[in-house]
Chains A and B, each alone.
Chain A
Amino acid sequence: MIFVSLGTMHLDFARLVRAMDSVAQRTGERVVMQTGLASTLPIHAEHFAFRPRTEILALIAGARLVVTHAGIGSVIDVLRTSRSLVVVPRLRRHHEHNNDHQLDLAQAVERRGWGKMVLNIEELETLCASPPPAHRGYTPTKAPLIAAIGQWMKTPTRTL
């Protein structure tokens, strides 16, 4: 099963919906899409607008691949679940977002080796056939950050 997440954005994401609907039609594999507020909906893939977070996490855990918009919440959920990840940033030129900030996170995902970024939507079908390896043991450096805050509170010197 492939899980597809479009997030909560109010703008449409027809590029991704159509490409993944085509994968569902051609391969016959089960494709489940969380479409949020998108107006373009798939015909061959299963879809729903929103579901509780626990159900979303279960869908991610049950997927062999997650294809998601480059939203921080979705990306973290996939990394924490150690699933194969493909990010498709919402782009301003396709009216999928107000700006191109999703490109920033999508590029970071690729730089860190957490997953693959797709800009040319035609590449998506190939990636679904041979998905990138899942990133295992995702561990953000939260502990050093908390320690640094504690240290800052104990050191009454202005550093800037």
Chain B
Amino acid sequence: MSQRPTVALVSSHGGHLTELLELDDAFAECNKFYFCYDADTTRRLPNAYLVPNRPYSPIRFIVNLARLWKIFSKERPDFLVSTGAEIAIPAFIVAKLRGVRSLYIECGAQCTRPSITGRVVVHLADQFFVQWPELLPAYCGRAEYRGSLIDETAP
């Protein structure tokens, strides 16, 4: 590991990206690269790999898996962090296969019901945070509440 660890930051382009950018202070000591959907908001990101926004295409899913494998070979990230949505699923698969430590932060809009992505990724991520304590029971002890961009409840 170099002195500055490298973190792979993965999100779609709307509110999920807003949440990821709000957490940017956490990665102040890291080299960062992004893997996102191609959109006006993501084209402005430094060091970003952008893919077309086709969330329900199985072909795109396979292409993204291969693309992520290559990107991870080149960038050699120490961590993967994502705030969703489904674009995160292939990234957590690649991280799992390559032994890259991974953290998923469930979207702040999920107060009591888990997201579809969350239900998949909770089985792949090394660490899983939710942003509402009410959501913890839905993840059966696999998630932690450590703070929130929305809720005021102390962790």
Which of A's residues lie within 8 Å of B, judged by CB? Answer: 72-73, 76, 101, 104-105, 107-108, 112, 138-150, 152-153, 156, 158-160
Do residues A146 and B150 form an inter-chain contact, with CB atoms below 8 A? no
Cα separation A142 to B146 with both chains bound (whole Å)? 9
Interface string of B95-118 (1 = CB under 8 A from A): 000000101010011111100000
Given contacts A107-B111, A141-B154, A149-B81, 7 further A-B contacts (CB under 8 A): A108-B112, A141-B151, A144-B155, A148-B129, A148-B155, A153-B5, A159-B126
* A104 vs B112: C-alpha distance when bound (angstroms): 7
Contact of B152 among A112, A149, A156 (CB under 8 A): A112
Report the bound CA distance from A69 to B110 in whole Å.
Answer: 16
Cα distance, A72 to B15, chains bound together (Å):
9
Residues of A within 8 A of B27 (CB): 149
Assess the A108–B148 pair: CB atoms within 8 A: no
- What B residues does A152 contact at CB under 8 A? 103, 127
In the complex formed, the residue of B with least CB distance to A114 is B152
Alpha-carbon gap, A90 to B152, bound state (A):
24
